[in-house]
Structure 1
Amino acid sequence: MAASLRFSHAQITPEVLLLTLGSDTTLRGHVRRVAPALLKLNLSHLEQVAQNHDGASADDEIRAKAPSNSGGERFLNTYAHDLTAQARAGEIDRIVGRDAELRQMVDILLRRRQNNPILLGEAGVGKTAVVEAFALMIADGRAPGSLADVTLYTLDMNLLQAGAGVKGEFERRLTGVLDEVRDSPTPIILFIDEAHSLIGAGGQTGQGDAANILKPALARGELRTIAATTWSEYKKHFEKDPALTRRFQSVKVDEPDIDTAVRMLRAIVTRFEEHHGIAIRESALRAAVELSARYLPERQLPDKAVSVIDTAAAAVRLSRDVDPEALQAHQIEAEHLRAELGRLRSEPPTAGAPREIARLTQELTRAEQAAEVIAAELAHHRALADAADEVAASGATDALTQLGTLEKQLQKAGGESPLVSRVVDAEAVAQVIGRWTGVPSGRLLRSQIAAVGTLADRIKTRVIGQDAAIETLSEAMRVARAGLNDARRPQGVFLMVGTSGVGKTETALALADELFGGPQGLTVINMSEFKEEHKVSLLMGSPPGYVGYGEGGVLTEAVRRRPYGVLLLDEIDKAHPGVQDIFYQVFDKGSLRDGEGRDVDFRNTTILMTANTGTDTLATLAEDPETMPDAHQIPDLLKPELLAQFKPAFLGRLTVVPFLPLDADTMGKIVDLQLGRIADRVTGRYQARTEVTPAARTRLAQAAQAGDAGARAIETMLSRDVLPRIADLFLNSVADGFVPRAIEIGVSADGAGFTVSALGKRRRLAS
């Protein structure tokens, strides 16, 4: 404080430090204990040195940059940066696609009054780039009229506020900047980015409002500025101050369209090629813009496309310099196996040790061989890539032909999973999008397009007896994978109706496993928790002023975190009717605005809903297979019951998928499926075979058929009556040191329960 206010120094100098230590009563006590010799210094002499310092000390260079109330443009050089100088030095990338905004800004700057433009747009659309384009215009001598000799400075608000906690320091710095701008022999325009920080909370505790300092200078025309902020911050801060608002003229900076964004990337791509040492293809630019526009809706073009290109170039560079992940995985596995083998060989031998050592040795050999194969392929791929680099750098007349041949060889050698990438192409960009969002793209997308053709058959192996419903879902998924669905709407919206235990939830699980890589691709929301009207807002998040604001909604946050997957709204018929109104916009436009005003994108989500509506009608229709109507006619027969439960506008925006009651044959197949899963677990844990008597199979199927729980009754009976007996059998056997080679599941003598018995000889457990 003494250095700044008493002596107008930006830094703490040695003489000021010594003077403060000797004159402050609190500090003198500490100095007396630590360094009493310092108290003998002549304080008057130190004060004279501090006031009359002529810059002869070792920190002259720092002092020369320190702001002072006198001595030229020291404030401006400290707290602002010369954009025109950076433009002349070639430090600013060429800007394209903002000609209209640049012309509008220049028109405002040429006015006599209200000549302060403020750029308004969402984060990432390129507001700062418009100002940089103006700096390039000045540097190139293309600025019109009175703007030709202007110097453009950008005000660094962080530097201006840093260390200005003392009351008056912030105002002193800002006033010093304004004085130097006013007194400069050449006209100066200040660019203030994040201009909302000037209003209200522009200073920290003890500081004033910077906007009030700027208003007089702006009103008198002594200061010309270019401001930039977002729409939300402008509305929150600027519009509340009409006196400040009328001194600025807004310039709207919208997100560019696809073609304009591609041109913007094309203008700066050379800088990325030089930085990474990697060639970037034209196809990569368009892929970055198109894929980011579709799959990164929370960010704006061109910023998100630039991030994608930068990341893809870094990934390609990494593949040239670092061993691929597959090779590293085998090498790490081999290292762990060697360590485990070493530990086993150093321990006293046990009965099972030789078998375990043999197994580990076999796995080690397999891992080493796999690593050697990948290493050989990697060397071949890198040799092709290096040869292509040499041809590209040679400048030969037939270089393009040779380069094309080598790249085809590299692509053929790499196949679907290349170990080395030489250039950034559309495939590399698609992989980046896939890693960021989980969206299958590129080669992964092509494999899924091929797999979706057999989707129905694969789901039918898990969901038995619902072929018509599965075909309906699979057809919609094929349309979505082909890219022929409405891009404004979700991938699919289905209402699965039917009695409990017929496979609705299992269908959602199977769809997530087959298309989205496992259960992590499924988000389940139990809609029965939203029976009361006041809980409906929890889906979108509480509005401002309510408890829970800012914590996000159950529905919106789930989709925001995993926008690509299956969303299961379970038991939606039990939710409050007001819930249905929320989904109109989701089904029509593929988006939903949460409690904080942010739009959540549902376009890459497959929405499944379950309901028990129509249970009686479906049961009646299924009683006689001969009179069962066609699957496409059943939704019409269910319409009266559906309209009694759901609003017509809600039903009109989705596809009704009926799930029929399960007959005896279907129950028998489900019993076999569930018993097969138990047999797999027994084999994997105890290497024992599992057999089931026909009586036990029939007993399970009949019990499930007689109840109202459907196929769920089978799983309940197995968990309650069969698995405990299997567990007791094996636990008792393990205690004796032997386990059976096979077990049999049967029915008890009275027919009321199940039995589990051992078959054949027992096997001794390894020590």
Structure 2
Amino acid sequence: MVETKGENLLFIDEFHTIVGAGGSDKGALDAGNIVKPVLSRGEMQLIGATTLDEFHEYVEQDRALERRMQPIIVEEPTTTQAIEILEQAKTIYEKFHQVSISSDAVKQAVLLSVRYIPDQFLPDKAFDLIDEAATICSTNGLGHVGKQEIAEVLKNKTGIPVTTILKGDKERLDGLKEKLSRRVKGQDEAVEAVVNAITVAQAGLQDQRKPLSSFMFLGTSGVGKTELALALAEGMFDDEDAIIRFDMSEYKQKGDITKLIGDRQTRTKGQLTEKIKQKPYSVILIDEVEKAHSEVVDLFLQVLDAGRLTDSTGRQVSFKNTIVIITTNIGSQKIIKQYELKGNFKKLTDRDKIQFEKSMTLELETKFRPEFLNRIEYKLIFNMLDEEVNKEIIVKQLSEIQERMKNKKLTLSYEESLVTYLLDVGTNIKDGARPLERVIKHKVLPLISKEFLNLSDPNQEYHFHLWVEGDAPDEYHREDKRKILFEVEAENTSFGEALFS
């Protein structure tokens, strides 16, 4: 290189590795000491590439070598610049893989890599998508790389469904309110507030440094707090598994913070940070936050405020593409008392709502620091479930049973008497909808299941019809004499009737 000075340019990738390379404890020259005299005399033209962290850790330790190199910070290109870079370089990939790469695929690779691979940098992460998609197309005998192929590669990397990846923001939001309302009954105000917040986030008008949105759901047990979080994950990402759920009863001790961010000494990975690395677009559900240790709560304060966490290895994990939902039962007794005095929260006047929200805030401040509460964007109070809502929940759960029965060539119908019976025996103000689910599992599903297993021809289509007969308990009769009756028909022929109570 010295002899051909002016004719060659030496490029060293991972430049920091020459510091100490080839050296020993006995004083032998390392690679860094060998190039320093040549560099000082200007006899060699050299460009080194390394990361800023590695430059600080290695190169700056050798002050003489640092003086002989001129540091130049190379910023990550913008999406527009990255698209131009890929457009100019794609011919290399086309020639190598013998495929054509569309401009739409290039744009898709850049935009999707920015959205779904936040822990890597442009243009490398977009090049990786293009290269992998071209490799797959070439191997499968396909001659063209388009949007679909890029989405398939990203699906394999992140596990996010292709339909979700290719769906635009407007398409994603269309019908979101209806999707949530179908699953969550009696919480129209909470559903609308969630949809409005997500709309702002998808429009890009939220604080870019923070998560897409953050909520605290307040209410008694069984009123739909967790169900709304699951419904939101399915509505936004087409998959309930897009939710990352933490039960705070498992994080009561001071040292439990290492479970979330990892432990350098034991080399264990963090349950929270690792999952966000794998699924950067997720709904995070922090269930019953009041049970967590104060240090764990402070950790989530960092997520809500800065949109990032540093794990045990020193690596920053971005939460900017997450939706954070925190649930708590604090104030449940106050909500029940309010319901008994004035009815549901949704029926209160604006003035009464403001007063009640203030009283709930005071209740929260007895457990949490103001810094934590002030960083939560939306605090939503869930309604108690009244009779009308419980009926809707019964119909919804019976509809879910009907859908499952279709896979077994079974159909189900029922009379209003069944709904009334389930409403009477399965509702409890304090426990919300959970007793309803248990009653249906204990009284309806066993009835259908036992008869189905006794059917003579499992390949035949059968129809189950359910109703209730008998006297309900009143002020004179404490015993509930009602029983569920059912009838099964095959090919329009009734062949069985049974009792089940």
Rounded Cα–Cα distance in structure 2 between residues aligned with 1:757 and 1:295: 51
Which residue pairs with 2:384 in the alignment? Answer: 661
Asked if structure 1 preserves the Cα contact closer than 8 Å seen for 2:217 and 2:327, the reply is yes
Which residue pairs with 1:757 in the alignment? Answer: 486
Asked if structure 1 preserves the Cα contact closer than 8 Å seen for 2:243 and 2:283, the reply is yes
Asked if structure 2 preserves the Cα contact closer than 8 Å seen for 1:311 and 1:432, the reply is yes
Change (3 A) 1:632 1:266: farther
Within the alignment, does 1:483 sit opposite 2:204 as a pair? yes
SS for the counterpart of 1:489 is: coil
Residue identity in the other structure for 1:151: N
Within the alignment, does 1:714 sit opposite 2:432 as a pair? no
Change (3 A) 1:747 1:591: farther
SS for the counterpart of 1:685 is: coil
Using the TM superposition, give the Cα deviation of residue 520 of structure 1 relative to its aligned residue in structure 2, in angstroms. 2.1
Find the partner of 1:297 among 113, 118, 129: 118
1:681-760 maps to which residues of 2 (within 5 A)?
681-692=404-415, 694=417, 696-706=418-428, 708-734=430-456, 741-746=463-468, 750-751=479-480, 754-759=483-488
Give the number of the structure whose residues are more often helix, by fraction: 1
Residue identity in the other structure for 1:728: K
Which residue pairs with 1:99 in the alignment? Answer: none
SS for the counterpart of 2:185 is: coil
What is the TM-score of this pair, normalised by structure 2?
0.79
Within the alignment, does 1:580 sit opposite 2:297 as a pair? yes
Within the alignment, does 1:510 sit opposite 2:227 as a pair? no
Asked if structure 2 preserves the Cα contact closer than 8 Å seen for 1:689 and 1:742, the reply is yes
Which residue pairs with 1:602 in the alignment? Answer: 319
Which residue pairs with 2:499 in the alignment? Answer: none
Rounded Cα–Cα distance in structure 1 between residues aligned with 2:330 and 2:220: 8
Find the partner of 1:444 among 155, 160, 166: 166
Asked if structure 2 preserves the Cα contact closer than 8 Å seen for 1:740 and 1:758, the reply is no
Residue identity in the other structure for 1:699: Y
Residue identity in the other structure for 2:333: D
Residue identity in the other structure for 2:348: M
Which residue pairs with 1:306 in the alignment? Answer: 127
1:319-468 maps to which residues of 2 (within 5 A)?
322=142, 436-437=157-158, 438=160, 444-446=166-168, 449-450=170-171, 452-468=173-189
1:191-206 maps to which residues of 2 (within 5 A)?
191-198=11-18, 202=21
Using the TM superposition, give the Cα deviation of residue 217 of structure 1 relative to its aligned residue in structure 2, in angstroms. 6.5
Change (3 A) 1:557 1:302: same
Find the partner of 1:678 among 374, 386, 401: 401
Asked if structure 1 preserves the Cα contact closer than 8 Å seen for 2:77 and 2:123, the reply is no
Change (3 A) 1:483 1:734: farther
Rounded Cα–Cα distance in structure 2 between residues aligned with 1:573 and 1:609: 10
Rounded Cα–Cα distance in structure 2 between residues aligned with 1:287 and 1:759: 54
Give the number of the structure whose residues are more often strand, by fraction: 2
Asked if structure 2 preserves the Cα contact closer than 8 Å seen for 1:456 and 1:471, the reply is yes
Using the TM superposition, give the Cα deviation of residue 461 of structure 1 relative to its aligned residue in structure 2, in angstroms. 1.5
SS for the counterpart of 2:71 is: strand
Which residue pairs with 2:255 in the alignment? Answer: 534
Residue identity in the other structure for 2:386: D
Which residue pairs with 2:30 in the alignment? Answer: 212
Using the TM superposition, give the Cα deviation of residue 489 of structure 1 relative to its aligned residue in structure 2, in angstroms. 2.1
Using the TM superposition, give the Cα deviation of residue 502 of structure 1 relative to its aligned residue in structure 2, in angstroms. 0.3
Asked if structure 1 preserves the Cα contact closer than 8 Å seen for 2:427 and 2:436, the reply is no
Rounded Cα–Cα distance in structure 1 between residues aligned with 2:445 and 2:339: 33
Using the TM superposition, give the Cα deviation of residue 672 of structure 1 relative to its aligned residue in structure 2, in angstroms. 1.8
Asked if structure 2 preserves the Cα contact closer than 8 Å seen for 1:725 and 1:756, the reply is no
Change (3 A) 1:720 1:753: farther
Using the TM superposition, give the Cα deviation of residue 537 of structure 1 relative to its aligned residue in structure 2, in angstroms. 2.5
SS for the counterpart of 1:528 is: helix
Using the TM superposition, give the Cα deviation of residue 496 of structure 1 relative to its aligned residue in structure 2, in angstroms. 0.8
Using the TM superposition, give the Cα deviation of residue 687 of structure 1 relative to its aligned residue in structure 2, in angstroms. 2.2
Which residue pairs with 1:643 in the alignment? Answer: 365
Rounded Cα–Cα distance in structure 2 between residues aligned with 1:211 and 1:526: 56
Rounded Cα–Cα distance in structure 1 between residues aligned with 2:50 and 2:202: 40
SS for the counterpart of 2:245 is: strand
Calculate the aligned-residue CA RMSD, in Å.
Answer: 4.0
Residue identity in the other structure for 1:215: N
Bigger radius of gyration, 1 or 2? 1
Rounded Cα–Cα distance in structure 2 between residues aligned with 1:739 and 1:279: 51
Residue identity in the other structure for 2:118: P
1:677-707 Cα deviation digits (max 9, x unpaired)? 223333442524342451x422322334335
SS for the counterpart of 2:427 is: helix
Which residue pairs with 2:8 in the alignment? Answer: 151
Rounded Cα–Cα distance in structure 2 between residues aligned with 1:439 and 1:484: 26
Change (3 A) 1:510 1:266: closer
Using the TM superposition, give the Cα deviation of residue 290 of structure 1 relative to its aligned residue in structure 2, in angstroms. 5.2
SS for the counterpart of 1:251 is: coil
Change (3 A) 1:444 1:558: same
Within the alignment, does 1:560 sit opposite 2:277 as a pair? yes
Q: Which has the higher contact order (CA 8 A, sep 6+)?
A: 2
Rounded Cα–Cα distance in structure 1 between residues aligned with 2:257 and 2:35: 51
Change (3 A) 1:672 1:266: closer
Change (3 A) 1:211 1:592: farther
Rounded Cα–Cα distance in structure 2 between residues aligned with 1:502 and 1:579: 26
Change (3 A) 1:642 1:263: same
Rounded Cα–Cα distance in structure 1 between residues aligned with 2:486 and 2:208: 58
Bigger shift: 722-731 or 265-274? 265-274
Rounded Cα–Cα distance in structure 2 between residues aligned with 1:270 and 1:688: 58
SS for the counterpart of 1:660 is: coil
Change (3 A) 1:231 1:718: same
Which residue pairs with 1:254 in the alignment? Answer: 74
Using the TM superposition, give the Cα deviation of residue 291 of structure 1 relative to its aligned residue in structure 2, in angstroms. 4.8
Using the TM superposition, give the Cα deviation of residue 429 of structure 1 relative to its aligned residue in structure 2, in angstroms. 6.4
1:4-41 Cα deviation digits (max 9, x unpaired)? xxxxxxxxxxxxxxxxxxxxxxxxxxxxxxxxxxxxxx
Using the TM superposition, give the Cα deviation of residue 552 of structure 1 relative to its aligned residue in structure 2, in angstroms. 2.0
Which residue pairs with 1:117 in the alignment? Answer: none
Change (3 A) 1:590 1:246: closer
Using the TM superposition, give the Cα deviation of residue 244 of structure 1 relative to its aligned residue in structure 2, in angstroms. 6.5
Q: Please list every run of 5 or more consecutive structure 2 residues that lacks an aligned counterpart in the other structure.
A: 472-478, 497-501
Asked if structure 2 preserves the Cα contact closer than 8 Å seen for 1:255 and 1:301, the reply is no
Which residue pairs with 1:396 in the alignment? Answer: none
Find the partner of 1:592 among 301, 304, 309: 309
Rounded Cα–Cα distance in structure 2 between residues aligned with 1:442 and 1:748: 50
Residue identity in the other structure for 1:605: T
Asked if structure 2 preserves the Cα contact closer than 8 Å seen for 1:308 and 1:433, the reply is yes
Asked if structure 1 preserves the Cα contact closer than 8 Å seen for 2:256 and 2:296, the reply is no
SS for the counterpart of 2:184 is: coil
Using the TM superposition, give the Cα deviation of residue 463 of structure 1 relative to its aligned residue in structure 2, in angstroms. 0.9
What is the TM-score of this pair, normalised by structure 1?
0.54
Change (3 A) 1:685 1:308: closer
Using the TM superposition, give the Cα deviation of residue 673 of structure 1 relative to its aligned residue in structure 2, in angstroms. 1.6
Using the TM superposition, give the Cα deviation of residue 731 of structure 1 relative to its aligned residue in structure 2, in angstroms. 2.7
1:193-236 Cα deviation digits (max 9, x unpaired)? 33444456x569x9999753653673586885654433444444
Rounded Cα–Cα distance in structure 2 between residues aligned with 1:727 and 1:431: 40
Asked if structure 1 preserves the Cα contact closer than 8 Å seen for 2:164 and 2:237, the reply is no
Which residue pairs with 2:343 in the alignment? Answer: 625
Change (3 A) 1:652 1:439: farther
Change (3 A) 1:454 1:741: closer
Rounded Cα–Cα distance in structure 1 between residues aligned with 2:408 and 2:421: 27
Using the TM superposition, give the Cα deviation of residue 439 of structure 1 relative to its aligned residue in structure 2, in angstroms. 8.3
